[in-house]
Structure 1
Amino acid sequence: MTYQPQYYLGQGKTFFGLRDANGNPKSLRWLGDVDEAKITFKTNKVERKESWSGERGKSMSLVLDKEANLDLTLMDFSPENVSQVIFGKSSLIANGTVTGEVLPSGLVSGDRIALKYPQVSAVTITDSSATPVTLNPSKYDVEAVYGAVTIKDATGLTEPLKVAYTHGGVNSISIFSKIPDDVYFRYEGINLAQGGAPIIVELYRLKTEPLKELALITEKQGDMKISAEVLIDSTKPADGEMGRFGRILQVSTA
């Protein structure tokens, strides 16, 4: 029989999905552009070296447990991806109007204050006197996109100052505000070294780790490197063809 080597060079799509009560994946969410995806495997063993031959040869090697981890490098900073890696909640804050937002006391020329919301317009600042005085717009600067106000002159005004404004909608992603769910992983790839042959990899139950680093200022394109531990899935039978951790499907196109 002629030997036909099967090489591998892969690209494809990666998906996360929540699991139902039976361990089956619900709707799958594409993670977008992923620069790297790899699974690492490890076994822990107990070993014995014999004591009778003078060679101290290894006479027993017994696998006690098996471990696997998934490592991903995400390039897509979507709200869903970011919330996944920082254990947060993603929510859309609708546009709205704010009145009477109190600014810090003791303001002097040059002080910069961040408002509660970004993307602001129609900013008006008044003081706290019995008959509130409206601060002339020439006495403060507004960075509308970031929602920040820089005071240029607050002399003669009764503090605290209060600000009213309108703001646009914004995605808000909280940090460490959610206990992460176990997730199902699916890779739908093509083997470029085999003419684009399809390949599917499923990992039934993952527990993700939080993002180790989020580079805010960098000279290269940002990414998010995350790891996930592959856990045993008790909903799968021990002797089933799917296994209890995951499986690799080499899809025939013949």
Structure 2
Amino acid sequence: MAVEIIKKVYRPSSLVGQVYARPYGSATAPMPIGNVLELALEHSEDVQKQDDMTALGGGTHAEKRRVKEVLVKMKLADLNVVNLARGVLGTAQAIEAGTVEDEPHTATLGGLLRLQHIQPTAVIVKKGADKATATPVTAAGNYEVRPEGIFMLPEAAGLAYADKLWASYSYGAYAAIEALTTNAIELELTFGGLNEADGGKPMVVEIWRASQGITKSLALINKDFGALDVEGTVLMDSTKTGVGISRYYKASMA
């Protein structure tokens, strides 16, 4: 019976589970965001105290407490396109596979030709004043094809500084994220928790409306696993009405 659940005292907690998100106000299904290493709600208060001046020794005559804010904090282990775009306030674009012919560059021995697209294949580099009369340059001893572009070998025999180059290549589909191009998104979050310390009993927490700010850092070279530390503010959801109905979040426990 539900009353027995409410009366239960033994309730140690060690939660794991899935976190789902969808844009606030959206009618689409909440989608899992991947492995979340840490998820927490942090409450802060504005506490005002009135001194007791009626007797020696001091003390508190009255106190007023109001919640200043509730923060939601997450450590995201999966740096997928959606999480990364939200974490850097970016916009994501799907780039379909294609080919490029005679992309212009200037040679710098020991330097990188940063191509317009990543992970090039079937690369042909030509040298000449214009693409119509340019002649192919062999890769061996002159350049290396890398995911980030074409690296000009310092000792390249068939190339010289400031040579005009023309690169043709193919590339596969990929995603591009332009950082700092949008406002912080507002999300509806659902945590489907399972209590490992209490027989796997479920605990579902629904956060009706929360902003998500930019990640504190984006580790690009790191000997440990990468993660995104993000946080936001739990905001009032004016669509939630009624006596005893929270406009911020709800926890349901079995």
Short-chain TM bin: 0.7 to 0.9
Q: For residue 253 of structure 2, what is the amino acid of its counterpart? A: Q
Residue of structure 1 equivalent to 2:129: 128
What is the identity, as a one-letter code, of the residue corresponding to 1:162? W
CA deviation digits over 1:7-60, x for unaligned, max 9? Answer: 21111111111122xxx7632111111111111111112221122312221112
CA distance in 2, matches of 1:158, 1:217: 32
Query: 1:184-234 CA deviation, whole Å, 9 max, x = no partner?
Result: 011011112221111110111101110011112222111111111111111
More displaced 10-residue stretch of structure 1: 156-165 or 209-218: 156-165
CA contact (8 A) 1:7 1:194 kept: yes
What corresponds to 1:7 in structure 2? 12
Task: Provide the residue aligned with 1:102 in structure 2.
Answer: 104
Consecutive unaligned residues in structure 1, runs of 5 or more: none
Q: Tell me how far apart the structure 1 counterparts of residues 186 and 151 of structure 2 sit (CA, whole Å).
A: 43
Cα distance between partner residues in 2 of 1:58 and 1:124: 81
The percent identity for this pair of structures is: 20
Q: Which residue of 1 aligns with 2:250?
A: 247
Equivalent residues of 2:44, 2:70 under 8 A apart: yes
State the Cα distance separating 1:168 from its structure 2 match: 1.4
Deviation at 1:171, TM superposition (A): 1.8
Change over 3 Å in CA distance of 1:158–1:57 after alignment to 2: closer
Match for residue 33 of structure 1 among 26, 32, 35: 35
The Cα shift of 1:175 comes to 0.8
Q: Which moved more, 1:10-19 or 1:142-151?
A: 142-151
* CA deviation string 1:148-193 (max 9, x = no partner): 2315245579843221111111121221122233110110111122
Specify the SS of the correspondent of 2:84: helix
Tell me the TM-score normalized by structure 2: 0.86
Q: Which runs of 5+ in 2 are unaligned?
A: none
Aligned to 1:116: 116
TM-score (normalizing by structure 1): 0.86
